[in-house]
Amino acid sequence: MTKRVFLRTVSVMSKQEKNIKEFNELGIKPAILKRINNLGFKKPTPIQHKSIPIATSGEDIVGIAQTGSGKTLAFGIPMIQRVITMKQMGLVLLPTRELAVQVEEEIYKVGNPFGVKTVILMGGTSAVPQIRKLRARPDIVIATPGRLLDHLKRKNVKLSNVGMLVLDEADRMLDMGFAPQLKSILEYVPRDRQTMLFSATMPDSISKMAQKYLKQPLRIEVARPGTTADNIDQEVFMVKKEDKLKLLDKVLNEHDGTVLIFSRTKYGAKKIAAKVRKMGHTADEIHSNRSQNQRQNALKGFAKGRHRVLVATDIAARGIDVSKLGLVLNYDLPEQTEDYTHRIGRTGRAGNSGKAISFASPDQKGDIVQIQRLIKMTLPIKSPTGEKLQSIDNNMKTRKSNYNRPPSKRFRRRRRR
């Protein structure tokens, strides 16, 4: 069997946006182009600029782009165009329910006027409405791997007419242990298909996945893995664990606008949300202990301004899209270093300025070093009173955090303790 390799790499950095073409120069059908203009999309983002012409020509793509770069329309527009012109199905696989809802909303807005029918297949909700929509023969299926595989085994859905497959946030899907489900699902999808894989990072596991499931893909990289937006102001407060709530109260009073707080655990998120409400701020929470309706209501309430603060675990790091989000606050540092960029990428979107603050205890300097190495910049360090402290040297030796181990190894290590 011939080994599949990347044909070539197209690199587009965000600073080159002045050279980006208009949507009408990307090979988009006039009717779809008119719809895009009516929705207010004036100029394509770098990933859209490079991906859309290649995708509409039928080539496979590996897209490496930071969060908030406009990936949904980068694959959504070509998928809608293919559905309309070739009468083939589209399939989008992604890691979380929140991201599935977000992607479906974007695709629906563009495709609905053309009669393009979509369905979301995800856990946490009743399968009955999903089965009803599947019987109506949707054009585009947007699904999390577990629920889609369940429908396939029950023969509720057929994927024999899939002409375009998108693996969105592929690195996150692998991190969450979905590799076996992906392998099973792809046995139901025709080999003669177009495949697009999008990822924020490019570890060896993603390269192997691309070689296995894509046909001579073109790699498009609009920012190096770990890149954070230039318009996000980042800083770290060194604070003892017992003083975090006091500092949180101070930060919330000093900053205006909406605030997204990240907690490492679902129990921590619930506790923080309760404390924030006692501080006098409207707040809600989103984590795996909440039902899908509760999670969706929390997201909608936050987006519409009913809640000033949303406290979330990393389940929401790539599924929240709130315009002009003022502040992202890492109450706890992320378990996976790479999740830092996904968390703070919720702010500073669509060219707006953003702010990201992280709380770290003195014994977490090694974790800060790992984040600095990832984003290739030195973060300003402050005391709880706002006094500037000495920066942390990236050359210091660090022990690899247990939280950056694969989930199975983390579990075994905890049991030995």
For 111-162, how does the pLDDT look when each residue is reduced to its tens digit (9 = 90+)? 999 999 999 999 888 999 999 999 999 999 999 999 999 999 999 999 999 9
Q: Is the pTM of this model over 0.75?
A: no
Point out the domain boundary residue: 180, 197, 221: 221
CB atoms within 10 A of CB 304: 9
Pair 203, 92 in one domain: yes
In a domain, 417, yes or no: no
Exposed/middle/buried for 315, CB within 10 Å: 0-12, 13-18, 19+? buried
Are 49 and 21 within 8 A, CB to CB? yes
Pair 28, 176 in one domain: yes
Residuewise pLDDT in 10s, the chain (417 residues): 334 444 455 554 444 445 667 898 999 999 999 999 999 988 898 899 999 999 999 999 999 876 667 889 999 999 999 999 999 999 999 998 888 988 999 999 999 999 999 999 998 889 999 999 999 999 999 999 999 999 999 999 999 999 999 999 888 888 888 999 999 999 999 999 999 999 877 778 888 888 889 999 999 988 655 555 567 899 999 999 999 999 999 999 999 899 999 999 999 999 999 999 999 999 999 988 888 788 888 888 888 889 999 999 987 556 666 767 889 999 999 988 888 888 888 887 666 778 999 999 999 999 999 999 988 899 999 999 999 999 998 877 665 554 444 444 443 343 333
* Dist CA 328 CA 246 (whole Å): 17
- For residue 341, what pLDDT is reported? 83
Pair 263, 179 in one domain: no
Pair 149, 187 in one domain: yes
Pair 257, 132 in one domain: no
In a domain, 210, yes or no: yes
Pair 80, 177 in one domain: yes
Pair 173, 281 in one domain: no
In a domain, 288, yes or no: yes
Pair 243, 140 in one domain: no
Pair 268, 397 in one domain: yes
- For residue 398, what pLDDT is reported? 65
In a domain, 63, yes or no: yes
In a domain, 416, yes or no: no
* Dist CA 326 CA 353 (whole Å): 8
Point out the domain boundary residue: 199, 221, 243: 221
Looking at the structure of the chain, the number of domains it has is: 2
Pair 239, 216 in one domain: no
Q: CA nearest 368: which of 248, 241, 238, 223?
A: 238
**Which residues does residue 220 pair with via DSSP β-bridges, in sequence order?**
10, 63
In a domain, 176, yes or no: yes
DSSP-assigned letter for residue 368: H
Helices (H), 44-188: 46-56, 71-86, 97-111, 127-135, 145-153, 170-175, 179-186
Q: Look-up: residue for tokens 């296995």? A: 212
- 356: its two tokens: 């990201």
CATH of the domain at 85: 3.40.50.300
The domain in which residue 380 lies consists of: 232-411
In a domain, 2, yes or no: no
CB atoms within 10 A of CB 403: 14
* Dist CA 32 CA 48 (whole Å): 15
Pair 205, 259 in one domain: no
- 203: its two tokens: 């570890």
- 101: its two tokens: 């809802």
Point out the domain boundary residue: 221, 250, 277: 221
Pair 211, 243 in one domain: no
In a domain, 198, yes or no: yes
